Amino acid sequence: MKPNTRKKRGHAHLFGNPTFTWFQAASSDYKLFPRAHDHDVRSAPDAAANALRGAALDTLDRFLPKGLFVLSAGLLCWGLWGLFEYAFPAWHLGLQDSNFPAGLQFIHFLAISLTGSIFVFGYLKRWPHTRHATITMYAVLATICFIETMDFGAFGGGTTGVMIMLAEFALYIGLSTYLLRSDAIRKHFQIASPRPER
């Protein structure tokens, strides 16, 4: 009686048999059986982009945190001077805009003062919530800028005013992105780094 030489059918035989390499190749497109070299090829552009972003952030980390501190100190002084002039009109400093109603003028300089003070004192005290509070104030400033530009013709109105407004929006978005991604900001405010993705 001849021994049974017929191979057992099953998953191990199915995927181990070279006959079925086409199935493995097809499955790799669906991430079921990814091939090592495919992973390397696909991850290379991502690795290069991540390295480029990391180098850009490292460059910004050298000067931008202190630059933001100086900028915020300037905003704080500007806002306080504007509030002072608002409260004492006789001390004409040229900061008020005659096109804006009185209430908008007050909100304008109050928001500027708050934005500057939050980052300045948060930076000095290493307050962990400084970056989120600052980003919130950037959103407030952007909203006020939109109202002043569209309803009261700030920056000269028209196309010029809109272009300046959009440039201001881009600045807020860029600074907000930096505050959220910068390792130097996390280190200064003693914020734990996010866990790496698996």
What average pLDDT does the structure give for the chain? 81
Confidence of residue 108 (pLDDT cuts 50, 70, 90): very high
Angle subtended by helix axes 102-125 and 130-152, to nearest 10: 160
pLDDT at position 195 is 59
pLDDT at position 60 is 84
Domain ranges (residues) in the chain:
12-54, 63-188
Letter for the amino acid at 169? F
pLDDT at position 11 is 45
138, with CB counted inside 10 A (0-12, 13-18, 19+), is: buried
pLDDT at position 92 is 83
What spatial distance separates the first Cα and last Cα of the chain, rounded to whole Å?
55
Gap between the Cα atoms of 25 and 32, Å rounded? 10
Higher pLDDT, 78 or 59: 78
pLDDT in tens, 28-47: 444 443 434 444 444 666 66
pLDDT at position 27 is 42
Q: Tokens 């501190």 identify what position?
A: 69
pLDDT in tens, 152-197: 999 988 999 999 999 999 999 999 999 999 999 999 998 887 655 5
Average pLDDT over residues 47-61: 72
Average pLDDT over residues 92-117: 93
Burial 82-98 (b: 16+ CB within 10 A, else e): bbebbeeeeeeeebbee
pLDDT at position 129 is 96
List alpha helices for the chain, DSSP H.
11-16, 21-28, 36-61, 64-87, 102-125, 130-152, 158-181, 183-188
Decide: 97 and 123 in contact? Cβ < 8 Å.
no
For the question of whether the overall pTM of this predicted structure is more than 0.85, the answer is no
pLDDT in tens, 61-91: 899 999 999 999 999 999 999 999 999 988 8
How many angstroms separate the Cα of 4 from the Cα of each of 7, 9, 10, 11, 19?
8, 13, 16, 20, 21
